[in-house]
Amino acid sequence: MSMQENYHLLVESIQDYAIYMLDPLGHVLTWNVGAQRSKGYQEAEVIGTHFSRFFTEEDRATGKPGAELRAALEQGRYEEEGWRTRKDGSRFWANVILTPLYSPAREHIGYAKITRDLTEKRRSEELYQLLVSQVKEYALFMLDEGGHILTWNEGAGRIKGYTAPEIIGKHFSIFYTPEDLAAGKPAMELDVAVKAGKYEEEGWRLRKDGSRFWANVVISPIYKDGHIGFAKVTRDLTKRRELDRVTQANRILEASNKELERFAAIASHDLKEPLRKIRMNAERVLGDVQHPLSEQQQVALSKIYGACGRMATLIDDVLQFSTLSQADHFEPYSLQGVLADVEVLLEQTISEKGAVIECTGLPVLLMVPAQMRQLFQNLVSNALKFSRKEERPLLTITQRIVKGADVSESGLWPAEEYLELRFRDNGIGFPQEAAEKIFNLFDRLHNKDAYEGTGLGLAICRKIVENHGGVISARSAPGQGAEFRILLPA
């Protein structure tokens, strides 16, 4: 068998490729098994017909078949991927190569045409692209060799805040903090990824609005006939990091519980027991009708009895303040429910004073419910206690969410967003220069005879707010009421 016959047999037997010859005008001259299999035509049906029958109507209308023949003749070869049609009218995605053929005398005698059905490959690629584009929990995108963004999925848009038209073509260093940019971190990460085959870390990244989020980042080099770029996967772990911090705080608080509980038990007994005996004996002497006291003695003993009561209250407040650090575990709880509990506890005082509490809907927050209840109780009690006699007390509680990037206060736990609470009353107020002093232990602005209390209520408020990673401040003027502003991680 001659070499030409062997070659003809080889071409005829190939089933995965349509291999056939066209004359100079584009008419089909030969037909192999692969062409019959992919296009559906028998050899007798197609020989002599023009190859334009394999094109879609749209491509025929634009003169694409003739354009391909001219391009192959002018350039020596034509290759593309596009839609072609089968005998039954169905479409398939094809890789097409068209090469001009010449006789030994360099006379153009036609074209060799090779077509491969890539429909399944294209479908797989489309499904993969659809999967990548619609994943919302991960930012999945590709970089070129220099770190410029080539692709962008829905998750990337959700996490980083950019749309595809805004970000494609930009350098990926746009996501890095000023500190990391100054340290050359973006370039270092790409270098490590190429040398080690992968780069992975957790760290701060920036969104479009300038806010920071804690990210898990994986960068992998991509190769196709050499290094062509990088695949980058980013996941927002801000909430997980905040939860880890809360868990760590709980462990620390739990470790101190036993020692503090022991101190509270000893203090409660050793400090309050003598007072209890003094009060009990004073009460017994005051009630002894068989040995009546003079009026002066009764007044003195009554003062002792009252002082013991105030001392017992003070001890209770000091113990409460000292044990705030042994907080129970944090849990999601409704602030609206906390306020409802406090209104029940203070129902009698609210009713006696005719007080009004106005409040917008308060959200659920990660908190120690008992402490938050004490915070609200102290602030509401303050509004009731320091109200003006000629006006019914009015306390307005408002809330809003503040972005972390817009918060400048120090001492806050890191968070993406913060809850701002404002307690505004119409009471007697106080000088603004005392706004910090009122949170100190035992500091009082008013005589204890005019307003009862131990001077610990607002110190306890600050301690509770700090236990929750927040800050509290006050603003007021005499006769103008007071406003307490609280920021807490949302």
CB-neighbour burial class of residue 333 (10 A; exposed 0-12, middle 13-18, buried 19+): middle
Under 8 Å CB-to-CB from 350, ≥6 apart: which residues?
343, 357, 384
DSSP 420-431: EEEEEE-S----
SS3 of residue 330 by DSSP: coil
Tracing tokens 């098994």 back to the chain, one arrives at: 33
Nearest 5°: the CA angle 218, 222, 224 is 170
SS3 of residue 300 by DSSP: helix
Ranges in the chain, pLDDT < 50: 1-4, 6-7, 10-11, 327
Query: What is the structure's pLDDT at 66?
Result: 95
pLDDT tens sequence across 156-208: 999 999 999 999 999 999 999 999 999 999 999 999 999 999 999 999 999 99
Q: Are 485 and 433 in contact (CB under 8 A)?
A: no
Using N-to-C axis directions, what is the helix angle for 369-385 and 457-467, rounded to 10°? 150
Q: Are 489 and 468 in contact (CB under 8 A)?
A: yes
Q: What predicted TM-score, i.e. pTM, was given to this entire model?
A: 0.43
Instruction: Please state, in angstroms and rounded to a whole number, the distance separating the CA atoms of residues 37 and 262.
Output: 87
Instruction: Please state, in angstroms and rounded to a whole number, the distance separating the CA atoms of residues 96 and 84.
Output: 10
Query: What is the structure's pLDDT at 3?
Result: 45
Q: Could you tell me which of 97, 26, 29, 35 has the C-alpha nearest to residue 63?
A: 26
The dihedral built from the CA positions of residue 157, 159, 162 and 168, taken in this order, carries a sign that is negative
Q: Could you tell me which of 487, 474, 402, 407 has the C-alpha nearest to residue 443?
A: 474
Instruction: Please state, in angstroms and rounded to a whole number, the distance separating the CA atoms of residues 405 and 203.
Output: 17
Query: What is the structure's pLDDT at 283?
Result: 77
Query: What is the structure's pLDDT at 14?
Result: 61
Mean pLDDT, rounded, of the chain = 84
At residue 278, φ and ψ (nearest 5 deg) are -65, -45
Instruction: Please state, in angstroms and rounded to a whole number, the distance separating the CA atoms of residues 384 and 171.
Output: 58
- In eight-state DSSP terms, residue 13 is H
pLDDT tens sequence across 240-254: 887 777 777 777 666
